Amino acid sequence: MTTKTSRKGKKEFNVKFLPFDASVKVSSGTILLDAVKKADLPLKTTCGGKGTCGDCVVQIIGGAYQSKQSAALSDKLASQGFCLACQTKITDNITAQLPQFRELTIKIIVDSRFFEEQKDRISGLYEIDPAVKKIELDLPPPTLEDNYSDLKRIERELQKKLSLKKLNCEYSVMKKLANAVRKDKGKISVILFRSGNEETIIDIIPQSEGKKLYGLTCDIGTTTVALHLVNLSNGKIESTVSSLNQQITGGEDIISRINYAQKPGGLRKLHELIILTINNLIEMASRSAQIAPSDIYYASLSGNTTMFHLLLNLEPRYIREEPYVPTFNEVPSILSRELGLKMNYEGRIHCAPAVGSYVGGDITAGLLCTPFLRDSKKISLFIDAGTNGELVVGNKDWLVTCACSAGPAFEGSGIKCGMPASEGAIEEIKMLGSGKLEYKVIGGTKPKGICGSGLVDLLAELFTHGYVDRHGKYNEKKAIKKIIEAEEGKGFIIEEGKNSFWGKNLVITENDISNLIRTKGAVFSACSLLLKNVGLSFDKIDSFYIAGGFGQHLNVENAIRIGLLPDLERDRFHYLGNSSLLGAYLILLSDKNSGLAEEVAQKMTYIELNTEPNYMNEFTGALFLPHTDIKLFPSVRQIFNY
Amino acid sequence: MTTKTSRKGKKEFNVKFLPFDASVKVSSGTILLDAVKKADLPLKTTCGGKGTCGDCVVQIIGGAYQSKQSAALSDKLASQGFCLACQTKITDNITAQLPQFRELTIKIIVDSRFFEEQKDRISGLYEIDPAVKKIELDLPPPTLEDNYSDLKRIERELQKKLSLKKLNCEYSVMKKLANAVRKDKGKISVILFRSGNEETIIDIIPQSEGKKLYGLTCDIGTTTVALHLVNLSNGKIESTVSSLNQQITGGEDIISRINYAQKPGGLRKLHELIILTINNLIEMASRSAQIAPSDIYYASLSGNTTMFHLLLNLEPRYIREEPYVPTFNEVPSILSRELGLKMNYEGRIHCAPAVGSYVGGDITAGLLCTPFLRDSKKISLFIDAGTNGELVVGNKDWLVTCACSAGPAFEGSGIKCGMPASEGAIEEIKMLGSGKLEYKVIGGTKPKGICGSGLVDLLAELFTHGYVDRHGKYNEKKAIKKIIEAEEGKGFIIEEGKNSFWGKNLVITENDISNLIRTKGAVFSACSLLLKNVGLSFDKIDSFYIAGGFGQHLNVENAIRIGLLPDLERDRFHYLGNSSLLGAYLILLSDKNSGLAEEVAQKMTYIELNTEPNYMNEFTGALFLPHTDIKLFPSVRQIFNY
């Protein structure tokens, strides 16, 4: 890198941006955020460069810079070279890592009780017969009378153990076959991949090398990406990790991502960002489970249709242009190396089948975790309250589905103190009569923030105890010191800085509450419209299955209190957690489940809610706590004596 | 590149070798051949560095050098930077291209009469239904009511034209699918690859781009590589080219190639050389047919088992170590890009199935060109007189096969004036009573050399007219000026320099004759032993099918005269030419033929001749003209009155 002096006598510097292969030249003193814009790279900023939102955080890896201190950035991060791009002047040739979400890749502590509950629910589908298998062979030594080729001798021994219809062998395996077969005198581990009636040899390893066989399952959410690392010989989940989807710098929802992809190089960038996100997760999960990424031979992925298009580097624009035609619903088998995923060279990728542009593989995978597919009499409703919300109503014989744009609030995104359900997150909150909060933190540390389930509790408690009115505004009359005037308007202090992990107050603002209400309103009104469309009312629904990024728990009482769920007998509700991830796990374990997901996808009928004339009415009515029409929530009405 | 002065005051130069990524530093004045050896690179030399054989020809691409003139190198080549490595001193930093066989890539003029004869013979198998097909679709525009994915809509239209069982789609196609479908409003050409019950979409192109669909068929001989470029819509051969196998610098026969592959980096070098050879052929054939290599989607290859192992970069050593186990007999489907062949990115490679280590895919392909597989009563013998000779005896119900090391003499290699059957080659020779030769040159030019069929004629005529005795020695008594003392011993002048293409005498030496006799002896004795093994004699064989690199003709009378073929009724003999190439062509045209070749391969029983106690006796007996046991050749005996 060289420093040049421009015509006007001002020095010019070179700014290199990672993880992209991009550089720009700017004059001395340029604000880093402007350099990012000049390079046409994605970087989120909510406050418009005021240094308050903290969204434009980047890490300077090389070179000097001048950065203003900001409340939005902890000293701990600042000391590691993190800075806000909008508050940083360029005074040298620098290399900046953006977006720096690597540290947001986190290990999730899975509550074993929660997982056992989930396992009970899916017990009918819990079978370990994955598409990728390890078979141990002991080849008899060849002789002059029996000198078939190595490949033929392997096929002959496999035939004794499996009923092979057609056997293929990958070229990469052929290249090492002769020596692998001879190293341990015929004792080999053969890794097979099954597709339909065919088996393909995707690896051969001398047994003395003790090859392990792992798979992974990954839910690619618009906001959050979660991953299980799974031992394929016993189905055990060895590690669970989660991260923000680094694409978030290219827009928060599906539509803005699709728009971003239309910029020159935009699609490639979004593709690279999701691959980077998943690779970071694979790296962390592998390290935690003490395996090599090359031990991972199979990935079962779930996600919405847009996320899959971006993952696969496919043109997404026709998803949002009428008549909303995606490139695919069922993705053909793809190799990990074609995408650049850190797995075995011959790793296989399975993508859960989609219904259409707006109901994706996350939903078909999620439905595997419900009894929808086994019951012809009772009708159930499935709600996935993700950034893009999807709903399914029906039973074994019929399924109708729709989508709504809910927003990422319940995943802890777009909320000042929101965070994913990982170590340090407040997951349960109870308000005592005194207004004092009791809460439970995942991992038992000082709180870092609040995850979805905690936010539902918090909003319900603030509302119940009169701190927040039906419009989601703070009640001026409750003039106690917990309600403060923050930079972004009024806020409620959940925990003071001295007791929090990062040393800063945990505050929920009116703006945050308004985000939460919009999200719950979008979900509730979509449920309501969907049922009207199929001629049913809420009370005709036998079971409600709720999925989303809330965490491992959801207080149904509180969810009804804020109007997220309808006011019915509490035992009709079942919280699934991340059903998309769990469904992908079922598909990973057995390719029979993959076939089942395809059936489900083909059975679903999609209806478009946006074209419904009542859509805006329904939505607006739901923007209250719990709803404009309080008659819909008799148990809430009773509490407040409306 | 820099010039350094070594400690002793002698300048050091850098020598870079193409096509390898190899360089060495040598002191000024070093002989280039020694530099090649220092770099451990393959370069053939027969005369041991005397400047007479001309085998070590290389081309200097950059830098100065001092080279002695040599009779073995024409002035024309010398003026183009060609030099003999053993006669060249390094006096500068140079870049040398070795081996420079690119100019030996030649276009073959196929005699249409010969091809029609071949076509008649294979008429039962001549069917155009290749594994790769182009289907034209006109997709109806999607609507809100019919907004299936692009892939699904393509599948639906394909279903109307084909009976699809399972449809796959390559990832590279998915990436361009959305835009390809929309460019011509749904008018697309779909390229499909069929394997078993499955079809895979390997390309989709808007119809306005007018995509052409080509295939190629290539016979990879130990010495010679020949290639047809074929229009897959009508089966027409658009271009035929041929070349020396550039691996020849790593040894002339299979055993020396396998040995070469054991050197560090040796296997990779041989692999690269055969890929280079084929890519040069593809380039020339494409240019000649005016198509782009990316229009080539399918390659049907034939070759012996060692050639296939080297082509695929597979460890070949176990082929020659008891119990002679190859990695594969049937090669799974491979992509052209995995090998680095200049074809479409999604090009598919088919390798003809082998019987074992010493009877390869060239033989199963070759057998497709005979009536062996259609007749249960009559017994036939198939002879492929290549560098590695292979024989098959049997009929529809049984097939027994063996191999022998024949040598490349009939392909024109290892013979001073030998050359492949291309433009400038003498292909027919007749000696008049006066001792004057009448000959026919391919393409009607001045002669450059003699191809296999011409060599058979020449040897027969020299023998018949008494210039050569039964031992293959020149007859001293015929002291006419045509027999000269050349540097390599006695020689016979076929044509004087003033009448030859390169301006040099065309001479056949005693050494050449001895090579030809060894080759014909190996083939005849192997035939004889094979028949004894199955309890048959020559006269029980109804038909003899002779294949090899002789050219487009073979004078059966002369082949019997020199003892290459047994002395039977002439109409029992049928000359096939390059049956391996023709068989690969049949496989290219229809994958039914590929299945047939697999059946053939499985039906053949291999017997090992080398372990036969009589092998050396039989071989030694055949090292005479026509044979020690003249009773075996009554018609020849009659001519000479023995």
Asked whether the predicted pLDDT for residue B3 surpasses 50, the reply is: no
What is the pLDDT, as a whole number, of residue A105? 59
What is the pLDDT, as a whole number, of residue B105? 59
- CA nearest to A309 within chain B: B175
CA gap A384, A118 in Å, rounded: 16
Residues 319-338 of B with CB under 8 A from A: 322-335, 338
Which pLDDT band, with edges at 50, 70 and 90, does B25 fall under?
A: very high
Contact call for B325 and A179, based on CB within 8 A: no
- CA nearest to A349 within chain B: B171
Q: Which residue has the higher pLDDT, A344 or A3?
A: A344
What is the pLDDT, as a whole number, of residue A42? 67
B233 touches chain A (CB under 8 A): no
Contacts of A72 (CB under 8 A, 6+ apart): A51, A52, A53, A54, A84
Counting residues of chain B whose pLDDT is more than 90, the rounded percentage is: 64
- CA nearest to A338 within chain B: B171
Q: Identify the burial level of A477 via C-beta atoms within 10 angstroms of its C-beta, where 0-12 means exposed, 13-18 middle and 19 or more buried.
A: exposed
Nearest beta carbon to residue B174 from set A147, A325, A327: A327
Asked whether the predicted pLDDT for residue A359 surpasses 80, the reply is: yes
- CA nearest to A312 within chain B: B175
Asked whether the predicted pLDDT for residue A76 surpasses 80, the reply is: no
Which pLDDT band, with edges at 50, 70 and 90, does A56 fall under?
A: confident
Nearest beta carbon to residue B152 from set A144, A174, A329: A329
Predicted TM-score (pTM) of the model is 0.85
Among candidate residues B305, B297, B361, B306, the one with its CA nearest the CA of residue B594: B361
- CA nearest to A167 within chain B: B332
State ipTM.
0.84
Q: Identify the burial level of B519 via C-beta atoms within 10 angstroms of its C-beta, where 0-12 means exposed, 13-18 middle and 19 or more buried.
A: buried
What is the pLDDT, as a whole number, of residue A58? 87
Q: Identify the burial level of A434 via C-beta atoms within 10 angstroms of its C-beta, where 0-12 means exposed, 13-18 middle and 19 or more buried.
A: exposed
Among candidate residues B26, B42, B41, B46, the one with its CA nearest the CA of residue B88: B26
| Contact present, B582 and B118 (Cβ < 8 Å) | yes
CA gap A138, B506 in Å, rounded: 60
CA gap A132, A201 in Å, rounded: 10
Asked whether the predicted pLDDT for residue A484 surpasses 80, the reply is: yes
Counting residues of chain A whose pLDDT is more than 70, the rounded percentage is: 93
Chain B residues within an 8 Å CB radius of A177: 314, 327-328
Contact call for B169 and A315, based on CB within 8 A: no
Contact call for A178 and B314, based on CB within 8 A: yes
Which tens digits make up the pLDDT trace of A500-531?
887 788 999 999 999 999 999 999 999 999 99
Mean pLDDT lowest for which of A230-244, B70-84, B147-161? B70-84
Distance of residue A278 Cα from the nearest chain B Cα, in angstroms: 19
Mean pLDDT value of segment A122-141: 90
Contact call for A315 and B178, based on CB within 8 A: yes
Nearest beta carbon to residue B147 from set A147, A171, A356: A356
Please report, as a single letter, which amino acid is at residue A31. I
Contacts of B109 (CB under 8 A, 6+ apart): B422, B423, B442, B443
Alpha carbon A71 to its chain's center: 28
What is the pLDDT, as a whole number, of residue B104? 54
Residues 190-209 of B with CB under 8 A from A: 196, 198
Among candidate residues B23, B28, B24, the one with its CA nearest the CA of residue B9: B28
* Local structure of B113: helix, strand or coil: helix
What is the pLDDT, as a whole number, of residue B212? 92
Contact call for A150 and B196, based on CB within 8 A: no
Distance of residue A171 Cα from the nearest chain B Cα, in angstroms: 7
Asked whether the predicted pLDDT for residue B321 surpasses 60, the reply is: yes
* Local structure of B67: helix, strand or coil: strand
Mean pLDDT value of segment A291-309: 97
Strand arrangement, sheet containing B506-509: B483-486, B489-495, B506-509
Which tens digits make up the pLDDT trace of A430-461?
999 888 999 999 888 899 899 999 999 999 99
What is the pLDDT, as a whole number, of residue A2? 43
Which pLDDT band, with edges at 50, 70 and 90, does A3 fall under?
A: very low
Which tens digits make up the pLDDT trace of A157-199?
999 999 888 999 999 999 999 999 999 999 999 999 999 889 9
Distance of residue B125 Cα from the nearest chain A Cα, in angstroms: 25
A61 touches chain B (CB under 8 A): no
Alpha carbon A473 to its chain's center: 30
Omega of the bond leading into B626 within 30 degrees of 0 (cis): yes
B168 touches chain A (CB under 8 A): yes
CA gap B521, B538 in Å, rounded: 16
What is the pLDDT, as a whole number, of residue B45? 66
CA gap A267, A247 in Å, rounded: 11
Nearest beta carbon to residue B142 from set A151, A174, A323: A323
Nearest beta carbon to residue A334 from set B147, B171, B317: B171
Which tens digits make up the pLDDT trace of B181-204?
999 999 999 999 999 889 999 999
- Which of the residues A139, A150, A306, A312 would you substitute to probe the B interface, choosing the one with the greatest number of B C-beta atoms within 10 Å? A150
Contact call for A325 and B179, based on CB within 8 A: no
Which pLDDT band, with edges at 50, 70 and 90, does A69 fall under?
A: confident
A370 vs A116, A549, B268, CA distance in Å?
15, 17, 54
B365 touches chain A (CB under 8 A): no
Nearest beta carbon to residue A171 from set B168, B318, B334: B334
Q: Dihedrals φ, ψ of B158, to 5°?
A: -65, -40
Asked whether the predicted pLDDT for residue B138 surpasses 50, the reply is: yes
Contact call for A144 and B324, based on CB within 8 A: yes
Q: Which residue has the higher pLDDT, A179 or B23?
A: A179
Q: Which two tokens stand for residue A273?
A: 């960002």
Q: Which two tokens stand for residue A180?
A: 């692998």
CA gap B634, B636 in Å, rounded: 5
Asked whether the predicted pLDDT for residue B123 surpasses 80, the reply is: no
| Contact present, A361 and A351 (Cβ < 8 Å) | yes
Mean pLDDT value of segment B531-560: 94
Asked whether the predicted pLDDT for residue B422 surpasses 60, the reply is: yes
CA gap A453, A554 in Å, rounded: 5
Counting residues of chain A whose pLDDT is more than 90, the rounded percentage is: 64
Asked whether the predicted pLDDT for residue B103 surpasses 50, the reply is: no
Contact call for B150 and A322, based on CB within 8 A: no
What is the pLDDT, as a whole number, of residue B102? 43
Distance of residue A31 Cα from the nearest chain B Cα, in angstroms: 37
Contact call for A174 and B332, based on CB within 8 A: yes
Which tens digits make up the pLDDT trace of B561-595?
999 999 999 999 999 999 999 999 999 999 899 99
Size of interface A-B (CB pairs under 8 A): 131
Asked whether the predicted pLDDT for residue B180 surpasses 50, the reply is: yes
Nearest beta carbon to residue B329 from set A152, A182, A196: A152
What is the pLDDT, as a whole number, of residue A371? 83
Instruction: Quote the DSSP letter at residue A370.
Output: S
What is the pLDDT, as a whole number, of residue A426? 95
Mean pLDDT value of segment A365-369: 93
Mean pLDDT value of segment A228-252: 89
Which pLDDT band, with edges at 50, 70 and 90, does B479 fall under?
A: low
Which pLDDT band, with edges at 50, 70 and 90, does A104 fall under?
A: low
Which tens digits make up the pLDDT trace of A541-560?
999 999 998 988 999 999 99
β strands within B487-617, DSSP E? 489-495, 506-509, 543-547, 573-577, 604-606
Distance of residue A595 Cα from the nearest chain B Cα, in angstroms: 14
Residues 523-582 of A with CB under 8 A from B: none
A165 touches chain B (CB under 8 A): no
What is the pLDDT, as a whole number, of residue A313? 97
* Local structure of A65: helix, strand or coil: strand
